[in-house]
A and B are shown apart, each in its own frame.
Chain A
Amino acid sequence: MKVTVERSALLKSLGHVHRVVERRNTIPILANVLIQAENAKLAFRATDLDLEVTETIPAEVGPSGATTVPAQMFYEIVRKLPEGAQIVLEASGDRAVLTIRAGRARFTLQTLPVSDFPDLAAGDMTHSFKVSAADLKRLIDKASFAISTEETRYYLNGIYLHAAGAAKAATLRAVATDGHRLAQVELPLPAGADGMPGIIIPRKTVGEVQRLIEDGEAEATIELSPGKIRFTIGDVVLTSKLIDGTFPDYGRVIPLGNNKELVVDKAEFEAAVDRVSTVSSERGRAVKLALTAGKLTLSVTNPDSGSATEELEVEYESDPLDIGFNSRYLLDIAAQIEGETAVLRLADPGSPTLIQDRESKGALYVLMPMRV
């Protein structure tokens, strides 16, 4: 195998794939990146057995071939080579090393056999559809904050993606919850997605997809089967296993009948919550919302340090109500609202509250209160 490639192209794609590699491994081959050179194309692949990322870039390929080298070290070498360098990768069949040459620098890296490299991409996908990168980004970004990190409810450690609604109103819906808050984001159902199974995308995969779509690609192709999902974004193909579990029936926890409507200026509200929560302790982050007609009083009392209150002019016409929330959670949700105005629908101090963006109906958030 012999390939010549420009440093920046190599660095960018290695940057995508090497992130998948865990730094400490019990299986040596998982620390390696697979390099395949064929038909003027150079492909890199890395995996952690749950997630596999492949990126293909154009390159000047001499004899074709494939090998695997330690991903972290390869990436570090390429990173430290001078900008604009032409890098030559060369492997001969009889020695288990890859030679990297650029200018007058020369490295040899020990390789492991290609045949040991696990292949995750195998298997048929049952559904395939396309979404714009912006839509995919919105779907994932707005839901990901609510993903649970608790190991004991492993089926909450991801985003639940499924088709909801019927006929014209059918949507592609992403839901995440950690038991305290829930986020639900929708898109019109793309062609090809109807009848798709409900799947849970693991958190690490969600993070990787988020990074890949930052690069401003126009469109992403999503293929899936009950066990796997594949995202094709530009030159990058990401294949991931799914969480094998049953997502709870989240519909039951969305309070559609809440009748006390509070409308706030989102920016004002966010800033005020942030301000009063300064005095809250690390442990209890409760902020109390006292509602009377047209007025919201936010207050935090910390027995160890002091207290804070702030009043806001709001639209509120129902009976007075006192309710507490975790300020961190309120801020997380406020950060997802893009419009100027947020609507909170409340029932009582012990029931879930529904939060939405007044302008856009594609997303809703549910938050459980705290006892204050």
Chain B
Amino acid sequence: MPVRQLSEAVVNRIAAGEVIERPASVVKELAENAIDAGATRVEIAIDGGGRRLIRVSDDGFGMTHADLDLAVERHATSKLAEDDLLDIRTLGFRGEALPSIGSVARLSITTRHAGEPHAWALSVDAGERSEIKPAALAAGTRVEVRDLFFATPARLKFLKSDRAESEAIRDVVRRLAMSRPEVAFTFLEEGRSPVTWAAALPGAHGQLARLADILGADFRENAVEFDQGREGLRIQGFAALPTLTRANSLGQYLFVNGRPVRDKLLIGAVRGAYADYLPRDRYPLLAVFITLDPHEVDVNVHPAKAEVRFRDPGLVRSLLVRSLQEALMRDGQRAASTGGSATIAAFRPALQPRRGWDWRRSTARPDPRGMPLATRGNTAFGFAEVAQAAFDVGAPSANVTLHEPASATLDQPLGAARAQVHENYIVAQTRDGLVIVDQHAAHERIVYERLKAALDKTGVARQILLIPEIVELDEADAERLAARAGELLRFGLAIEAFGAGAIAVRETPSLLGEVDARALLTDLAQHMAEWDEALPLERRLLHVSATMACHGSVRSGRRLKAEEMNALLREMEVTPNSGQCNHGRPTYVELKLTDIERLFGRT
């Protein structure tokens, strides 16, 4: 068959395969256009998972007759003024979206530019464009896409269920909405009530408001702000306290110059920053906004622009880790209110016990005849001793009345200890609320921080091996490890290159006891290849410290005196990160007086 030039319709359809993967890609392209057009309000309506209808309306600049004429042509865009792909300041720039959509669906565009007397409309039906006709529209642009992929039935077959496609669309809209708090978004979907995110103020406050709208009110209460800049790079955003986590990384959002992207750099950096607080399989919620000179980042990596490439990924990563760590240190003592509000939710007004409680008639209860003593309430001793009768020795009461707080301690952040209950929980009173502390978790964190500080100061003791262990790795891994020998030495692991593709382990951290050097090095090499850091080793050392901390701290079941409780509270106030135990659980929860009053309906 001779070589021939493909027809434009076919070319567009091929291009559509890359740009328009599924309905969510259409929504993304159209909504980005709306934002690039300077819209302050964007309305997105879908039906049938976006298959039947996608409609995006905005109040942006609109297009003139001439613009509209060109807009549906391939590689036509208004967004790339100088043909400079290195200086991209808009979300789109490829000029592929509208023609691609037009080639696989029924597309109609209605737009009104301020300079035109009325609006113009144009429709494209599987690549067949109509004439531009006058139309009615007050301002902005409305793009309607019907019967997506009807021109490419094969693609239609690959779509998932309507539900899954809707969810993908919602995710796209959520990400865009997070990146532009100053734009109001309305999302309409067949069979669901409309969702509206009102325009928020620009700046961090508005950003948090929008994030809270999308990620839930929990996020607002448990987020810490970070904002750091260096060399034209600014990293800013909100991260959840380690007590608010998910089981997967879907709650982590990254925006580069306002563009929602997915990048494993983020996941790696977050993992590094939270290593000290979270178990491996928990992921904190967070939203990171990176702003940098467009020349420093290449967005033209992926047709859908879901990935970006930084010119200096190391700088971005280290700044991100540092910002997160500093934010967490700063707010490390803050207890998550998730616990507190969950507690509030768990409180129920006590039910009045019914008069004729029938356990009294159950066989477990001793025959009351011939029981000279009051036994009511004392027979229910649990399964073990159901049948054991007991004297009336008075009602149960915890020894809670003894500690009159000094007024000065009430002013401390964690207040004055009033009592210990269930031999593990310290109840403390503050000026405006009540704090409940898990004594073991709290003390464990304090001891752990102390151990860590000692480790930093004295360094990790190294055990010299009688016979150096030679670990064979692939060459790249071996080189990577050898290049970082200095850093590893700080953690007590002395290695050196041993010919090509082998590493000799001469000393290991004595804290780890007997070390499986091969497994450790393989683990390290893999992690370094991926994340460029020596986290596994550090994590192992910290894990040992954490175990030591656990054994060296006050156990639950130990009765503490008032002075000891207060000493613990004061120590918590000055210990970094004392709001979480080593497993990411809160060490204390705080109930504000207003919360307590709300429980009793007093507010």
- List residues of chain A with CB under 8 Å of any chain B CB: 22, 24-27, 30, 48-50, 118, 150-156, 177, 179-180, 182, 243-246, 248, 250, 252-253, 255, 283-284, 286, 324, 326, 347-352, 366, 368-372
- Which chain A residues border B402 with CB–CB below 8 Å? 244
Supposing A253-B373, A283-B384 touch, asked if A182 and B391 sit within 8 A by C-beta, the answer is yes
Question: Do A371 and B391 touch (CB < 8 A)?
Answer: no
Question: Do B397 and A154 touch (CB < 8 A)?
Answer: yes
Determine the main DSSP class of B at the interface with A: loop
Residue of B552, B553, B561 with highest tally of chain A CB at under 10 A: B561
Q: Answer whether residue B558 sits at the interface, using C-beta atoms and an 8 A cutoff.
A: yes
B387's partner among A26, A153, A372 (CB-CB below 8 A) is A372
Q: How far is the CB of A110 from chain B (nearest CB, A)?
A: 14
Instruction: Provide 10 A-B residue pairs closer than 8 Å at the C-beta atoms, listed in order of the A residue.
Output: A24-B553, A24-B558, A26-B560, A180-B389, A253-B392, A326-B388, A348-B370, A350-B367, A350-B368, A350-B370
Q: Answer whether residue B571 sits at the interface, using C-beta atoms and an 8 A cutoff.
A: yes
Supposing A326-B388, A368-B389 touch, asked if A26 and B567 sit within 8 A by C-beta, the answer is yes
Q: How far is the CB of A289 from chain B (nearest CB, A)?
A: 15
Supposing A25-B554, A326-B388, A351-B372 touch, asked if A153 and B564 sit within 8 A by C-beta, the answer is no
Question: Do B394 and A26 touch (CB < 8 A)?
Answer: no
Q: Answer whether residue B568 sits at the interface, using C-beta atoms and an 8 A cutoff.
A: yes
Q: Which of B371-411 contact A (CB under 8 A)?
A: 371-373, 378, 383-394, 396-399, 402
Q: Answer whether residue B423 sits at the interface, using C-beta atoms and an 8 A cutoff.
A: yes
Q: Answer whether residue B369 sits at the interface, using C-beta atoms and an 8 A cutoff.
A: yes
Question: Do A154 and B398 touch (CB < 8 A)?
Answer: yes
Q: Answer whether residue B366 sits at the interface, using C-beta atoms and an 8 A cutoff.
A: yes
Supposing A26-B443, A152-B397 touch, asked if A253 and B391 sit within 8 A by C-beta, the answer is yes
Q: Answer whether residue B555 sits at the interface, using C-beta atoms and an 8 A cutoff.
A: yes
Q: Answer whether residue B355 sits at the interface, using C-beta atoms and an 8 A cutoff.
A: no
- Which chain A residues border B385 with CB–CB below 8 Å? 180, 326, 370
Complex: A156 Cα to B396 Cα, angstroms = 10
Q: Answer whether residue B475 sits at the interface, using C-beta atoms and an 8 A cutoff.
A: no
- Which chain B residues border A154 with CB–CB below 8 Å? 397-399
Question: Do A27 and B393 touch (CB < 8 A)?
Answer: no
Question: Do B394 and A153 touch (CB < 8 A)?
Answer: yes
Q: Which 6 A-B pairs have the closest CB atoms?
A: A152-B396, A371-B387, A154-B399, A368-B389, A26-B568, A253-B391
Complex: A257 Cα to B397 Cα, angstroms = 31
- Which chain B residues border A24 with CB–CB below 8 Å? 443, 552-555, 558
Supposing A24-B552, A252-B373 touch, asked if A180 and B367 sit within 8 A by C-beta, the answer is no
Q: Answer whether residue B563 sits at the interface, using C-beta atoms and an 8 A cutoff.
A: yes
Complex: A50 Cα to B563 Cα, angstroms = 11
Question: Do B388 and A370 touch (CB < 8 A)?
Answer: yes
User: When each residue 443-469 of chain B gets 1 if its CB lies under 8 Å from chain A and 0 otherwise, what string results?
Assistant: 100000000000000000000000000
- List residues of chain B with CB under 8 Å of any chain A CB: 364, 366-373, 378, 383-394, 396-399, 402, 422-423, 443, 552-555, 558-561, 563-565, 567-568, 571
- Which chain A residues border B555 with CB–CB below 8 Å? 24
Question: Do A26 and B564 touch (CB < 8 A)?
Answer: yes
Supposing A49-B561, A370-B387 touch, asked if A255 and B571 sit within 8 A by C-beta, the answer is no
Complex: A215 Cα to B139 Cα, angstroms = 100
Besides A155-B394, A252-B373, A370-B385, 19 more A-B contacts (Cβ < 8 Å) are: A27-B564, A49-B564, A151-B398, A151-B423, A152-B397, A153-B396, A154-B398, A154-B399, A177-B393, A179-B390, A179-B393, A180-B388, A245-B399, A246-B394, A283-B383, A326-B388, A348-B370, A350-B367, A352-B373
Q: How far is the CB of B429 from chain A (nearest CB, A)?
A: 18
Question: Do A153 and B393 touch (CB < 8 A)?
Answer: yes
A26's partner among B369, B373, B554 (CB-CB below 8 A) is B554
Question: Do B423 and A179 touch (CB < 8 A)?
Answer: no
Complex: A248 Cα to B378 Cα, angstroms = 14
Which single residue of chain B is at the shortest CB-CB distance from A29?
B567
- Which chain B residues border A156 with CB–CB below 8 Å? 393
Complex: A372 Cα to B388 Cα, angstroms = 9
Complex: A324 Cα to B366 Cα, angstroms = 12
Complex: A30 Cα to B568 Cα, angstroms = 13
Q: How far is the CB of B422 from chain A (nearest CB, A)?
A: 7
- Which chain A residues border B386 with CB–CB below 8 Å? 371
A369's partner among B389, B394, B563 (CB-CB below 8 A) is B389
Complex: A330 Cα to B70 Cα, angstroms = 100
Q: How far is the CB of A120 from chain B (nearest CB, A)?
A: 11
Question: Do A350 and B558 touch (CB < 8 A)?
Answer: no
- Which chain B residues border A27 with CB–CB below 8 Å? 563-564, 567
Complex: A154 Cα to B558 Cα, angstroms = 14
- Which chain A residues border B378 with CB–CB below 8 Å? 179
Complex: A151 Cα to B567 Cα, angstroms = 23
Complex: A284 Cα to B381 Cα, angstroms = 13
Complex: A197 Cα to B398 Cα, angstroms = 23
Complex: A33 Cα to B146 Cα, angstroms = 84
Which single residue of chain B is at the shortest CB-CB distance from A177?
B393
- Which chain B residues border A118 with CB–CB below 8 Å? 563
- Which chain B residues border A349 with CB–CB below 8 Å? 367, 370
Question: Do B396 and A49 touch (CB < 8 A)?
Answer: no
Question: Do A351 and B371 touch (CB < 8 A)?
Answer: yes
Q: How far is the CB of A32 from chain B (nearest CB, A)?
A: 14
Complex: A92 Cα to B368 Cα, angstroms = 72
- Which chain A residues border B561 with CB–CB below 8 Å? 48-50
Complex: A371 Cα to B369 Cα, angstroms = 13
Q: How far is the CB of A358 from chain B (nearest CB, A)?
A: 24
Question: Do A351 and B397 touch (CB < 8 A)?
Answer: no
- Which chain B residues border A177 with CB–CB below 8 Å? 391, 393
- Which chain B residues border A243 with CB–CB below 8 Å? 399
A153's partner among B389, B397, B568 (CB-CB below 8 A) is B397
Which single residue of chain B is at the shortest CB-CB distance from A151?
B423
Question: Do A152 and B373 touch (CB < 8 A)?
Answer: no
Which single residue of chain A is at the shortest CB-CB distance from B368?
A350
Question: Do B391 and A49 touch (CB < 8 A)?
Answer: no
- Which chain A residues border B552 with CB–CB below 8 Å? 24
- Which chain B residues border A30 with CB–CB below 8 Å? 564
Residue of A26, A30, A153, A250 with highest tally of chain B CB at under 10 A: A26
- Which chain B residues border A26 with CB–CB below 8 Å? 443, 554, 560, 564-565, 567-568, 571
Question: Do B391 and A25 touch (CB < 8 A)?
Answer: no
Q: How far is the CB of B214 from chain A (nearest CB, A)?
A: 42
Q: How far is the CB of B388 from chain A (nearest CB, A)?
A: 5
Complex: A351 Cα to B369 Cα, angstroms = 9
Question: Do B393 and A350 touch (CB < 8 A)?
Answer: no
Complex: A366 Cα to B389 Cα, angstroms = 12
- Which chain A residues border B389 with CB–CB below 8 Å? 180, 350, 352, 368-371
Question: Do A25 and B564 touch (CB < 8 A)?
Answer: yes
Q: How far is the CB of B401 from chain A (nearest CB, A)?
A: 8
Question: Do B397 and A22 touch (CB < 8 A)?
Answer: no
Supposing A24-B554, A350-B369 touch, asked if A368 and B388 sit within 8 A by C-beta, the answer is yes
Q: How far is the CB of B447 from chain A (nearest CB, A)?
A: 9
Complex: A197 Cα to B215 Cα, angstroms = 63
Which single residue of chain A is at the shortest CB-CB distance from B423?
A151
- Which chain A residues border B398 with CB–CB below 8 Å? 151-152, 154
Complex: A352 Cα to B390 Cα, angstroms = 9
Complex: A371 Cα to B568 Cα, angstroms = 46
Complex: A162 Cα to B502 Cα, angstroms = 79
- Which chain A residues border B371 with CB–CB below 8 Å? 350-351
Which single residue of chain B is at the shortest CB-CB distance from A50?
B561
B372's partner among A25, A255, A372 (CB-CB below 8 A) is A255
Which single residue of chain B is at the shortest CB-CB distance from A351?
B370
Complex: A27 Cα to B564 Cα, angstroms = 6
Which single residue of chain B is at the shortest CB-CB distance from A118?
B563
Complex: A347 Cα to B387 Cα, angstroms = 18
Complex: A245 Cα to B369 Cα, angstroms = 32
- Which chain A residues border B396 with CB–CB below 8 Å? 150, 152-153
- Which chain B residues border A286 with CB–CB below 8 Å? 387
Complex: A27 Cα to B554 Cα, angstroms = 11
Complex: A348 Cα to B397 Cα, angstroms = 31
Q: How far is the CB of A319 from chain B (nearest CB, A)?
A: 14
Which single residue of chain A is at the shortest CB-CB distance from B386?
A371
Question: Do B394 and A248 touch (CB < 8 A)?
Answer: yes
